[in-house]
Structure 1
Amino acid sequence: MDSHCCWKLVKLNSRTQMIQLWQNGASVRDIARGTGYSITTVYRWINRWQREGSIYDKPRRGRPRVTSAEQDKQILRAIHAYPKQDPVGIVQSLNYRCSWKTIQRRLEEQGGAQFVNFRNLDHLMALKGRHLKVGADTWIPWVDVHERADGSLYASGVAAEFFDIIATKLNFSYTLMIPADREWGRGMPNGSFTGMIGMCQRKEVDVAIGPFGITYERSKVVDYSVPLSMDQFGIFLPRPRLEKDLAGISKPFAWQVWMVLAVAVLLCVIISLLINRILQQSKAPSVKYSIKPMWILVALFRGSTQIEPETDTERVFLATWMWAGLILSTAYCGVLTSLLAVPKVTVPVDPLQDLVSYKKIPWAIERGTFLHQVFSEATSGVYKKISDGGSLVTNGYDERNRVKTERIAVLCDVFTMKKIMNDDYSNTGICNYYIAEKPITSVALAFAFPKGSDLARHFDHWLGPVKESGLVGRSIAALTANATACLIKPGKEGMSVSLVISLQDLAGLFILSGAGQLSVQRH
């Protein structure tokens, strides 16, 4: 029995090498040292060659070989000619029915194993013929699930396309399954999860496309593939526009300037009234005029007065205010003109706190996402306010029209935001959306598997090179190319927009000017 075992362990190419070395005059000891086998084994094969003229295995009981010696040679020649093709497909094209393990043995017997990467072959054949259950739901542009006429489902999108590539590489078919609650996966107090993560946790599916944000809580119940991509999550808003504001007449000066001016006018009025009282008590009754408080308005509005100052005190008072009025009115008119000529659009919301404090834009959160769980678990602070004050939506892409027309904000991923901006700008040529500059968080996105699944290893074998090649990034860039025109700050899009000043824009100026002129005329 031991002798038979030893004979069986010596590969055909090693036997051939022993006989060739012996025929060339090498000693048995040198042959044993060179081939790595014992002297007894070398003697046994030399004696077999001398006795029978053959070193091939003898027929024995058990499963017969599925290929002949000539067919083995044909397999070696075909694989040598096409080293980058699937060896199983090559063998099947020769009408030989054998497994990839058989092909591996035949190549090793003939010394041709170097022509095939058996590590790739292991991944190629690991799932051959299997039919997988795959969890999926719509998340444009990553995945878009459609229904065929026969009721079966199929998916398109960036993640779905790469999933199909892996399905081809690993030789498996699949059926899509949508979670009943239409969620990605939130942890419950009892340790279970909703959505597709829950389907993986309960082993209802073999893999879920997602892609899913990798979080510690989810990693307790599922395994992840290598990340497809890194994405940011932020605030998606209607684009800020120029707003009509009667208070715009105050914008040329900061509030501190207006405060100082008001205090100065008030003080001067009080001082002038005191001086008038003093002068009236000291002058003769023939003295008719003194310091007039209305001279301040005359000076500020650059008007004229028919009451001339009689004393040096009055002249200094009026001259001082005329000089100050000249400076202030010139600066005011210049800044106001520039504001009207080059309007500045105010962005009311940027960090998350602004969304809460602004109170003019309602917001929504995508239901069942990791972001939904982060906000819902908050017990205080801005996250708690976001959770309490927001509504829930299925996904950000479906809410794109509401963002534009109803002017709501959606908290979602940046890739979705850019895809919406790309499609909208391609159709309208106008930037109608805005992405807040400060993201909420960043997260890696990946496929999900039931805990302990061997599929993750086979998926990673192909996903790793895909990621390193930059194919995912290029796909994202191709789908969002036109969004770059709208990623600049609002008001600086570079589009030729004609600024038309309306009566509402000028209403504040007319009111202020009219009040001033009325005061002067009364004086």
Structure 2
Amino acid sequence: MRLFSSSPRWGFSKATDWGLKVFTQEGSEEVPPFTATRLLAAVWLLASLVFMSSYGGILTAMLTVPRVTIPIDSLADLVAQDELPWTVEKSSMMYQYFQVTEAEDGARKKFFDDLLTTIQDCYSARQDIASSQYAAICDRTTMKKAMSWDYSTTGKCHLYISREDVFTNIQIAMAFQINSTYLRRTNTLSVRSFIELRCQLWINKNHCGSVSSCRIHVLKEAGILDLWLAQEITNASQCLRPPSADRSTGIAALTIDALAGSFLLLGGGLAASIAIFLLEVALKRR
């Protein structure tokens, strides 16, 4: 190969080996001879640096998990800020809980002292909560139902449940109307033998006192209540994911558009090399 009427001392194998080392960003102590070949080597070094840096940066960006900081994720976070007011259901168990314990704990005391107002119930106030008029202390089932309504109506999630529970010691029970026909059927479930056995274990272990009270615990343990709630409250799972899960999941292949700049540089380099090669052939024939 001739360039600017100069004969390089490197052979084809040596030049190819040096070019691959540059492309893979490996070091080399040898430098191409003559000014013309060094000029081509400098262009190749620059193109390889841009190409590999762009490729590595895109791969790193795709593998990076975004960190989302949630400003309010507990009762302490709620009372520590002054931009979003808070409320609780009127005459509810939670209102009485804060009223009784407000003098025993700093966060609970501040919550009750700075209480904006009270609401009738959380589901009726779901629109105000979704529009960030205030934050509310609600039970998880009601909030999941509100999330289902919000996602089904708008297609987006405007509600969030904090990770830290305000109150966890809640008794589980199933309520029926007086003289309801479902009460007898509930007490005589088709899985009665399993429930009776589990309830006997509950009575012996936890001193429940009666089989009726233990049936609820067994239904909860067996996942029947969770299954029923999942069937009744749809679309809530879309809004129960962490904020960082909103990004696309799975491994996505790199497209040509993502590496368009690098391919343009590569194409320009190939075009320049072809032009120089044709120029060399034309000058040699003359």
TM-score scaled by structure 1?
A: 0.26
As a proportion of its length, which structure holds more helix? 2
As a proportion of its length, which structure holds more strand? 1
Structure with bigger gyration radius? 1
